[in-house]
Amino acid sequence: MKTSNLKFEGLYNYTGGQAPLTLMYYGMTEDRYVFIPYDLNKKHFCGAPNSLTEKEVLNQIKPIN
């Protein structure tokens, strides 16, 4: 996933943790990309925002098709 292809409020799968998560891209803070966990069934945020480096985004974020 190229960081230039990230869409604001787009949904993505995170594969870097113990269990895969669905995240919504929320924007940037300084040099980090901010994602918020999102519950697809209930259609609302379900956790605290996380910030990832560009390298983490490239390796661990996949778009939802």
| 16-63: pLDDT as tens digits | 878 889 999 999 999 999 999 999 999 999 999 999 999 999 999 999
Classified as helix, coil or strand, 1 is coil
pLDDT of residue 18: 85
CA–CA distance, 41 with 55 (Å, rounded to integer): 29
In this model, does residue 13 exceed pLDDT 80?
Answer: yes
pLDDT of residue 27: 94
pLDDT of residue 19: 86
pLDDT of residue 17: 79
| Interacting residues of 21 by C-beta distance below 8 A, sequence separation 6+ | 13, 14, 37
pLDDT of residue 9: 87
